[in-house]
A and B are shown apart, each in its own frame.
Chain A
């Protein structure tokens, strides 16, 4: 492939800073996908060349680097961002420079921009599936905890509504700041013990998530006493937290590395053969891998330097992702995803105990949550190709 005729693409994940654990795994998936694309002919014979930036987790840096990447008009697509504040910082740069961001993380919804395609889940996808699972298998007495900012509070509110609509009970709800001391975690665990829930819905993130699982374990508690459920504790987080504190607890996600579908097994083997070690694969890794291939697919069938053409190419296509066959909803630019329930094992992977039989339609502006309306929703969700 000729280098001078190459197609450039921006890749913006933090290799340092507080979000680096997850972003490094998204970066690895992106790099690997780009290698695969180039090994199979690139973009119609042209090499796909990533232009890397490391914003170190700082929203202002994401904004400045996105502006820089899009400045000379060569780059039309950026793969990147992890938190909502990082994505919001990039948003107005994209609108000005006619750039497209492919965003591989789940978030709280309530956003739409013609300049972003959202490959992660929104709450009507994972949260609803988790609530259905919990009500089927556990006494629905729940205690909600999390970090004190928008996403955990929103996620907690939704789960509370879902559990109550299914006849369950919310025994307590507490949020701690990200600088919470060990004493505050201590008092939180004591309150949980006092309420004696069957289920703890955990929306802690980052260091607080680690502190929470360890404090829980530290009080001699485990999944047999009360199950901790999360939408964010992935294989990557368990590597940090340690399997002793997470074993037996559950996570709802669109992808688990332990999936036994042939495409996933082949992919993990391919990665290990190429890189010399297995990937730190989780739902963000899967979404990052998928979005890279979908951009390349769209660039092959349309233009490589026109945002509208690339976006249209992504909307028109579907992709056999590791989580299941996915497509992007043209009305809201979010992804139809395949939620699954995993129970954490002692080796840091998950046993998948339940999964949807159809991709779930994204509804990022959903405001009310009740399980009563879900049957109807599932019917809408069944995609044409099943």
Chain B
């Protein structure tokens, strides 16, 4: 900790980050401290504008990289002109200017801070006096003049001081009160301002700033002889005797390698560079691990460690989790009851018992007690599952209790494979957000499986795996001989069966679900990531949205 503070004191601030500070403190914190930086379209459009301006005025265009340790600033001045013996810094903006009550063009507050900061920087480094700075807004083609006076200089010094203090602190600032600022903010999908407002005010109806869907494709390679190669900006998948398949890297979200397909080092580099996760699944359907370069900033993880070393916090989150999964399990059983003409007293009995157990969750005083409740809930749930299978289902595909390592019947083989895939997706979501998968709040650290991923998985077991398995069996989509390989007491999916399951599972993940709290629809793929982000909010002062995904 001391090291970061010392570093923050000596290192100068970029003028652009000072501008971010003036725009929104939280944006500054996310960029400077948590090192999250996503470029939105205006960043590139702005860069292009600068490049074009440079071409137009090649003669008198100069860029100055300036730094002043005394002032604590560094930055690059867009353009500098000499007018009547005075240096005038220019700043070019692609957008439009702010209009005051008389419809006169004015500089936006953050732009004003920025140009004043450039002026101060020039004054300190060159030892001259700058009378004014100018901002040209290209959208409405006006130039706004910002006088540099003592009040302006003081504003810059104060802002630098405040920004430095914020940089040294461990507290993430609250969401800014001006909602309009969030609409154009490039970090909105990470910061989730609307969801944060909902956490503070349940009456708030959030705008959806979280992208609806990640359209990048998930590539499953199930053929053992396949080779995944890089060719320029593409991934190429070569399978013996077949023409190579080309995939533009921008359209790939994950590469999932089942069995022992090969991937070349250049392809791994490309994926790591483009934030494409590579995941390995064993031939038995177990999640092995990931190559993932998306390291979160250490600040996020420190906060995670601080929160999850608090036993009360862990217990509270675990209660939410057990409740979420148990409720969903019970609702699923109730659905089975709903569709039948004949009464099922046994199933009814199970769901009433589950209800009684669920009401005791809030009284559980320790994780052990909670585990006991969860165990009982799971036992009841699995004893109720056989009732959800239709009469047409053959005896071999029926369910007689959960077993694993190895699964001993086709139903369990499907469940196990499904949970392996789900673990992979939850891991992908955790790594995308930048949390530490090995540090959870409910599951105990054991070998292989990362506890936080196991924790989060609980929420999605019922909707993403159990329902898919039950639905596909009821629809008679499985053929015993083609889809499974049976070795005495071990049953697993054949290559054909595996492909079929991946298809069903991925199709399910593409379906949308209306989030019960935020009230907007997202695909399950996005919900996985949203849930991780909402979990992080639990320990950042915006609690109350995690673990609400309960089946209706």
- A interacts with B: no
